[in-house]
Homo-oligomer: A and B are copies of this chain.
Amino acid sequence: MDQVDRILAQWRSERPDLDVGPMGTFGRLKRLCDHLAAGLAEVYKAHGLSAASFDVLATLRRAGAPYALSPSALIGWTMVTSGTMTNRLDRLEAAGLIARRTNPEDGRGCVVALTEAGFALIEQVVGAHVANQHRLIAALPEDLRGAFDAGLRAWLAGFEDEMPRQAPRP
């Protein structure tokens, strides 16, 4: 009997005509994501980052040398709009963690690259981030993880596999 069960009990009392079974899944998913996001933010914050800035730096880092991608490629990896990406890049550039260079092949765009400071920072934070994920997932019993991941993958596929996401270009 958790908080979500209490919510469902209220609905069943007030609106017995509704089948609120799925609402339990949605409610727990939302609350779990909120808790996990808060847990991850602790590490970001400890290094002066936010989820938004970590997201960009990590995407550049894992892309491999020379740690440079176009804003479009970053948008493709991160599921945010162009306006959001512009804002993220502005802040990271002001913080000296990335640099925008002109794209010699396309005068419309630019290339976003990690600075030395940006590389050093993300290299350090990624380790702490992964350790933090191990800490947070500990609450999910090992014997349930396989089935949980299978459900997660199947459900997500219903949203992402319809239109095979094209690999973002550099």
Contact = CB atoms under 8 A, between A and B. Distances in A.
Given A28-B149, A139-B157, 19 more contacts: A10-B64, A13-B64, A18-B130, A20-B130, A22-B130, A22-B133, A23-B130, A28-B153, A29-B36, A30-B37, A139-B159, A140-B151, A140-B154, A141-B154, A144-B147, A147-B151, A148-B150, A148-B151, A151-B151
Nearest to A13: B64
A108 interface: no
Contacts of A133: 22-23, 26
A91 interface: no
Interface stretch (A41-49, A82-90, A96-104, A160-168): A160-168
Contact of A24 (B10, B147, B149, B161): B149
Interface in A1-40: 2-4, 6-7, 10-11, 13-15, 18-20, 22-26, 28-37, 40
SS of A interface (majority): helix
B147 A148 contact: yes
Contact of A2 (B19, B138, B161): B161
Contact of A156 (B7, B28, B144, B158): B28
